Amino acid sequence: MIAIVDYGAGNLTSVKRAVSYLGYDSIITDDPEKIAHSDRIIFPGVGAAGAAMEMMQKRGIDNALKESFKAKIPMLGICVGCQIIMERSEENDTVCLGLIKGEAKSFPNNMKEVGNRIVINDKNALERYLKVPHMGWNGLNTVQNHPLFNGIEQKDEFYFVHSYFPVPIDKSNIYGETQYGITFASAIGKENLFATQFHLEKSGEPGLLILKNFCTWKP
Amino acid sequence: MLSKRIIPCLDVREGRTTKGIKFENNIDIGDPVKMARFYYEAGADELVFYDITASHEKRDIMIEVVKEVARTIFIPFSVGGGIRTLEDMRAVLLAGAEKVSVNSAAVKNPEIISQGAKAFGNQCVVLGMDVKHVGEKKGIASGYEIVINGGRTYMGIDALEWAKKGQALGAGEICLNSIDADGTKDGYEMTLTRLISDNVSIPVIASGGAGKPEHISEVLTRGCADAALIASMVHYGTYTINDIKNHLEQKGIKIRRNRKFSS
């Protein structure tokens, strides 16, 4: 059984629907016991890292995830789930799970000086604005092979909605990168843990493919 | 770099899709779930559903449609039309929509934007704006006025001021519909789109007037829109999403290429 962790952050049912579409059973749960005894764990999420961590600590989910990581259970973080596996997040200066060394940072923004905008010129010299949050479809440059990338092509795009992203200290934890003004890590992993900053459940067929690969992954 | 989004819009009445020309003479063109799947496979980047069901009792039909759509497609979609309360918003989001769009309810009660943003996150709240060009006049400095009831009721609110206020209240995106251009197939209202895009920092979806791919490349470049809403030009098979994206790519606009579906 796949446990989809409910820590009060985000639309869990959309992840459950995608998993079910792929033909796998899952339960949405906030029970640390059930999480610890599941075969696979997905922790999705939108919202703030601080609120997510607070909820996790209150229910003991943080320890269940740390134990599951040590116990080599396949784990998949999505969006905020990709940030809270770091040691800390800049978002409200939150202490996180620390499964991967490094922190979650926000996109650089001198937003006040230029009226909430960063103006760049693209190759057509059209005036363009980089808005934060980074929202919409963007590419994924797979910088390392990973079993979850089986079948993924360089032209595939994924759906993002976020203002923060993970910055692993050890570059070997970075599997995929995306460009939005800067280049940032959008897919990271370590041993039995993998996480994407983009929403696998909203990224069409490439997203479903990574999700499907996770459902059969034997790290 | 982000891809510009192409967003088919489906008007739904009592569980069936329609496409109105200037909000009149709606013609029934089918099952919204099947159309959603069709556009998902055809490479739409997102979908918008507008519930134009008149009777409040029949609005539960829409929730069932949303649930079925959410089981069938795996790209973001928003639902608007008849959203009046926080509970209405919650219902469509729980049913599986990624975003919820408020329009006239927000004009009458702007607090619904901030309440929605607080409860569900800014990215969930789309401010839908119906706008008419009225020329510069007292209280309407931009010359564009907010209208409701399909353009029949003038609200005395400047569209530019309303867009800024919507952003300040926490809207994550603006869906900007020109009532003047809607249904004409003569192209988007470029001046309006550029005006709003230049003055807010949230994404702007241009709506109303798309008749050919050139209109879309125009509004995504000169109009500075982040996304383009389309309806009849694809609903009636005049163009495919691919035709549009081929054209955009030729114009050097970054778009997302969909995977081919094997079956």
B263 within domain boundaries: no
pLDDT tens figures, B88-111: 999 999 899 999 999 999 999 999
Of how many residues is chain A composed?
219
What's the structural domain count of chain B?
Answer: 1
| Whether A178 contacts A139, CB under 8 Å | yes
Residues in chain A whose beta carbon is closer than 8 A to a beta carbon of chain B? 11, 13-14, 17-18, 20-21, 46-47, 111, 115-117, 122-124, 126-127, 129, 131, 133-139, 155-157, 159, 161, 179-180, 201-208
Compute and round to an integer the Cα radius of gyration of chain B: 17
The span from the CA of A131 to the CA of A117, in Å, is: 6
Angle B32-42/B241-250 helices, nearest 10 degrees?
30
| pLDDT over 90 at B185, yes or no | yes
Size of interface A-B (CB pairs under 8 A): 90
8 Å CB contact of B75 and A208: no
* Host domain of residue B116: 5-250
Evaluate if residue A126 carries a pLDDT over 60. Answer: no
**ipTM of the shown complex:** 0.92
What DSSP letter does each residue of B193-230 carry, written as one string? HHHHHHH-SS-EEEES---SHHHHHHHHHTT--SEEEE
Cis peptide before A133 (omega within 30 of 0): yes
Q: What is the pLDDT of residues A177-197, one digit of tens each?
A: 998 888 899 999 999 999 999
pLDDT in tens, A105-116: 998 764 322 323
Band (B131; pLDDT cuts 50, 70, 90): very high
**CATH number assigned to the domain covering A2-216:** 3.40.50.880
> What pLDDT score was predicted for residue A9?
57
| Neighbour-count burial of B259, counting CB atoms closer than 10 A to its CB (0-12 exposed, 13-18 middle, 19+ buried) | middle
User: Is residue B259, in this structure, part of any structural domain at all?
Assistant: no
pLDDT at A124: 36
List the CATH number of the domain containing B205: 3.20.20.70
Each residue's pLDDT tens digit, A15-47: 999 999 999 999 999 999 999 999 999 998 767
Contact criterion met (CB < 8 Å) for A138 and B1: yes
Report d(CA B199, CA B2) in Å as an integer.
Answer: 20
Residue B74 located in a structural domain = yes
Both tokens of A49, joined, read 């890292």
Does residue B11 have an active-site annotation?
A: yes
Amino acid A11: pLDDT: 66
Is residue B256 situated within a structural domain? no
Q: Which of A11, A21, A124 comes nearest B71 by C-beta?
A: A21
pLDDT at A128 (0 to 100) = 52
Amino acid at B182: D
Question: pLDDT category, B22, cuts 50, 70, 90?
Answer: very low
